[in-house]
Structure 1
Amino acid sequence: MSKNQNNAIYDLHDKPPFFTWLGLSLQHLFSMFGATILVPLLVGLNPGVALFTSGVGTLLHLLITHGKVPAYMGSSFAFIIPMTSLLKTVGYPAVAQGIISVGLVYLVVAFIVTFTGTAWIEYIFPAEVVGPIIMVIGLSLAGSAASSATTMNGHYDIRVFTVALVTLLATIAFNMFLKGFLGLLPVLLGIIFGYIVALITGLVDLSPVASAHWFQLPNFETFIGKDGFVFYPAAVLSMAPLALVTLSEHLGHLMVLSKITGTDFFENPGLKRTLTGDGTASVVAGLIGGPAVTSYGENIGVMQLSRVYSVWVIGGAAFFAVIFSFVGKLSALISTIPGAVTGGVGFMLYGVIAAAGLQVIVDNKVDYSKKRNLMIAAPIMVVGIGNFHLQLSTQVDFSGVAIATILGIVLNLVLPKVAASEK
């Protein structure tokens, strides 16, 4: 047990005793569990595969970073809109190609960083760009959450509205009034509470659980369809640009981790390794049927609260995620969670994402009395939230979030530091 300058109870390379390690690892698993399985539920992917890829992705990240960065890789919310659209219109092979392209963008950026350093990334992603983009990621999903929380089979249903509202209020209550171990699980507890209410109101069909085996392989899929390999350029064009969004999240999370642990991860193991780890995790996820993954703020929050930064604990959480993914009845049970529950929790999670973007703005004291900052933030938010998308064909459609991200980067590069009227 360490007592270092960062006031850690267990520092980066400390290995806790077995039962302590077990409890701390499960704590991380439960903290990311709700959000990681919510993404495939919202998109229509297999939750068991998502759980598996989050565990494998985290272990790969630990391996590639030489066990120096305590980052957990969970399902990314940034790609929900294009993944949902592609899955409905084309199928998983298209989704897989998009996810793999996201991972490849990370690997390309990692390769560039090896030779150019990191100054250029910090230049194109200042707080006045990163903050609004992160806000857009959350707020652009508000419509999807509202639809799930009010309709069933395309029609308004008061039961759905009621369950969603109860789920939201329960999640808020768990966040505010629980403490200790249970205080780290408000999302999971909110889903469980909402699920019980949904059972009572008749919104849940348990037949898939009854027919599932206790132990079974997750429903792995690949980028190759039943009729052989078909390339889907629309999938790549709609998802690859969003890697710029999650890249900014990656940088933000790495900065927070460096701050709370007292270790400069940009220096050691270096940004090139953390990017390579993140990108490899997404490539592997796309190859076997999972959603794109990214480092999780939930787990960073757990580390801040517990003062436990051990990579052994993060690795333990990843190990249990892989094991749990092979419990067939658990995957089937997760798949029966109705949209009313996911929508209700979504109101909270999407709002938290937006608030995280606001926190970036506040922490960096971005001054919106300056016209330049206002001219960057305003179009990013309206273009992204309104989904001002660019559809070049039925196969090529850039989402509003992607357009907003690119627009923010360009405006930051071309606008003068001071407007003419302010001189």
Structure 2
Amino acid sequence: MNKEFRNPDVVLDIKDKPNGIKWLGLSLQHLFTMFGATVLVPILVGINPGIALFSSGLGTLVYLFVTKGKIPAYLGSSFAFIAAMQMLMKDAGYPAIALGAVTTGMVYLIVSLIVKKAGSAWLDRLLPPIVVGPVVMVIGLGLAANAANQAMYQNLPNGEQLYNVKYIAVALLTLLLTIVFNMYLKGFLGLIPILLGIVCGYVIALLFGIVDIEPIKEAAWFAVPNFQVPFVTYSPKLYITAIVTMAPIAFVTMTEHIGHLMVLNKLTKRNFYENPGLNRTLMGDGLAQIVAGLVGGPPVTSYGENIGVLAITRVHSVFVIGGAAVLAMVLGFVGKLTAIIQSIPGPVIAGISFILFGVIASSGLKILIDNKIDFNKKRNLLIASVILVVGIGGLTFQVGPVALSGMALATLFGILLNVFLPENAKSETE
């Protein structure tokens, strides 16, 4: 694509800058969308959520800078590293996690240099539509169970989950209102259906009595996150376990990174593998992980939830993404607002997620339709079938600290089947 290209099917294209209150509203929509997942990771690991917000915003700005402001992607806390980080936090504390985050970032940088040297044309051969489509579907559908569980179950203090009809009602009402907003609102309000859905869902949750407001009352307006900075708050140390445990996981998140780029390519009608180049996108992601680790946050990765917002609103502006990043950094210091957003109950997030995750999955289906994939051919049917079941089913292959599961393993199977299966089955050639 030349520099003058503008996607005619969008409201705001990548380089379009919204004004005033519209900019704030669109950025807030992305902020609310990523918030639940971004703070959930540090909560599960034992890291300050305020730091995770700050590091996700800072990491996103680093990514936008490295990719020359050409890719509208938001980077938030990565779920892929949770188990490894929990183990490292228990055994050695945050310094080990920081080393692990820096290590994963370095893996990205090394791979980006290899891609720069070897080029990225091989991706088209390695990842044709019959592999890409089902993988993109797995990205969305693989998250479906999480959304359903958030909509159904209340987490009890003893760690058990209780089926709660109120939760389902809130989730479905949030879903219904978001659909209505998306279909019938015009003008500026028509650009922020997700944000409106979250706000209305929150009000409904308050009426149903499932929002805990005590933490909001107790929170201070201004609170400096407890940043963890090497040579300032702790002395760096070489943790071999951190390197061995987290470095292999980088290859798993790279698969997710490439999958998200596939979706963004389709949405924006561009080829980010060529411009700014896969080497730059990997470098941006790697540097973002390193920066996040150096300020005390978990490793970051691009978020499918925010890609869903791009698809629904047709607002692809990097200025909106950058605005969300700045808001996240500021929010990390506002204790009261952080408490309010942290109080958004799971059912509200679930109601929104039903749409966001579904849109991602539908994008994968659209890839298959647009490329006229023939499922009467056994080769195509087998490749898609294996990818979908392995990815959505969560099949895991683990050897020591290295584990491939879900989308990563499904992508690997898809690539191998695409390489080794003949173009036609014997029964089709007779």
Q: Normalized against structure 2, the TM-score is what? A: 0.80
In structure 2, the partner of 1:293 is: 301
Cα-to-partner distance string for 1:204-243 (whole Å, 9 max, x where unaligned): 1111112222122245468999997652444444563232
In structure 1, the partner of 2:28 is: 30
User: What SS is found at the alignment partner of 2:186?
Assistant: coil
- Counterpart amino acid of residue 62 in structure 2: L
1:382 shift after superposition: 0.7
In structure 1, the partner of 2:404 is: 398
Structure 2 residue 403 is the aligned partner of structure 1 residue 412: no
> For structure 2, which runs of at least 5 residues remain unmatched after alignment?
none
Question: What is the alpha-carbon distance in structure 1 between the residues aligned to residue 386 and residue 59 of structure 2?
Answer: 34
1:37 shift after superposition: 0.8
Instruction: Select between 32-41 and 85-94 the one with higher mean Cα deviation.
Output: 85-94
User: What SS is found at the alignment partner of 2:75?
Assistant: strand
- Counterpart amino acid of residue 351 in structure 2: G
1:318 shift after superposition: 3.4
In structure 2, the partner of 1:241 is: 252
- Counterpart amino acid of residue 30 in structure 2: M
1:111 shift after superposition: 0.8
Cα-to-partner distance string for 1:87-145 (whole Å, 9 max, x where unaligned): 66664858767765654443233211211111112221222112111211222222222
Question: What is the alpha-carbon distance in structure 2 between the residues aligned to residue 239 and residue 266 of structure 1?
Answer: 19
1:360 shift after superposition: 2.1
Question: What is the alpha-carbon distance in structure 1 between the residues aligned to residue 137 and residue 15 of structure 2?
Answer: 34
Q: How does 1:175-194 map to 2 (within 5 A)?
A: 175-194=182-201
Q: Count residues in correspondence.
A: 405
Q: How does 1:241-280 map to 2 (within 5 A)?
A: 241-254=252-265, 256-257=267-268, 259=270, 267-280=274-287
Call closer, same or farther: CA 1:168–1:383 in 2, change over 3 Å: same
In structure 2, the partner of 1:61 is: 63
Structure 2 residue 334 is the aligned partner of structure 1 residue 327: yes
1:403 shift after superposition: 1.7
User: What SS is found at the alignment partner of 2:187?
Assistant: coil
- Counterpart amino acid of residue 417 in structure 1: E
- Counterpart amino acid of residue 6 in structure 2: N
Call closer, same or farther: CA 1:167–1:12 in 2, change over 3 Å: closer
Contact 2:396 2:409 in 1 (8 A): yes
User: What SS is found at the alignment partner of 1:149?
Assistant: helix
Question: What is the alpha-carbon distance in structure 2 between the residues aligned to residue 50 and residue 226 of structure 1?
Answer: 21
Structure 2 residue 121 is the aligned partner of structure 1 residue 119: yes
Question: What is the alpha-carbon distance in structure 2 between the residues aligned to residue 59 and residue 377 of structure 1?
Answer: 36
Question: What is the alpha-carbon distance in structure 2 between the residues aligned to residue 222 and residue 103 of structure 1?
Answer: 17
- Counterpart amino acid of residue 416 in structure 1: P
Contact 2:175 2:197 in 1 (8 A): yes
Question: What is the alpha-carbon distance in structure 2 between the residues aligned to residue 298 and residue 389 of structure 1?
Answer: 26
User: What SS is found at the alignment partner of 1:416?
Assistant: coil
Instruction: Select between 56-65 and 364-373 the one with higher mean Cα deviation.
Output: 56-65
1:378 shift after superposition: 0.4
User: What SS is found at the alignment partner of 1:293?
Assistant: strand
- Counterpart amino acid of residue 194 in structure 1: G
Question: What is the alpha-carbon distance in structure 2 between the residues aligned to residue 222 and residue 252 of structure 1?
Answer: 35
Question: What is the alpha-carbon distance in structure 2 between the residues aligned to residue 242 and residue 340 of structure 1?
Answer: 27
In structure 1, the partner of 2:133 is: 131
Cα-to-partner distance string for 1:360-385 (whole Å, 9 max, x where unaligned): 22222222222111111101111111
In structure 2, the partner of 1:6 is: 6
Contact 1:50 1:291 in 2 (8 A): no
In structure 2, the partner of 1:421 is: 427
Question: What is the alpha-carbon distance in structure 1 between the residues aligned to residue 236 and residue 281 of structure 2?
Answer: 36
Contact 2:257 2:301 in 1 (8 A): no
Contact 2:261 2:272 in 1 (8 A): no
Question: What is the alpha-carbon distance in structure 2 between the residues aligned to residue 89 and residue 163 of structure 1?
Answer: 35
In structure 2, the partner of 1:71 is: 72
User: What SS is found at the alignment partner of 1:390?
Assistant: strand
Question: What is the alpha-carbon distance in structure 2 between the residues aligned to residue 388 and residue 322 of structure 1?
Answer: 36
Call closer, same or farther: CA 1:291–1:338 in 2, change over 3 Å: farther
Contact 2:64 2:70 in 1 (8 A): yes
Call closer, same or farther: CA 1:389–1:342 in 2, change over 3 Å: same
* RMSD across aligned positions (CA): 3.6
Contact 1:33 1:188 in 2 (8 A): no
Which residue, out of 366, 378, 381, partners 2:373? 366
Question: What is the alpha-carbon distance in structure 1 between the residues aligned to residue 7 and residue 142 of structure 2?
Answer: 39
Q: Normalized against structure 1, the TM-score is what? A: 0.81
1:353 shift after superposition: 2.0
Seq. identity, %: 41
Contact 1:150 1:157 in 2 (8 A): yes
In structure 2, the partner of 1:148 is: 150
- Counterpart amino acid of residue 213 in structure 2: L
Structure 2 residue 159 is the aligned partner of structure 1 residue 158: no
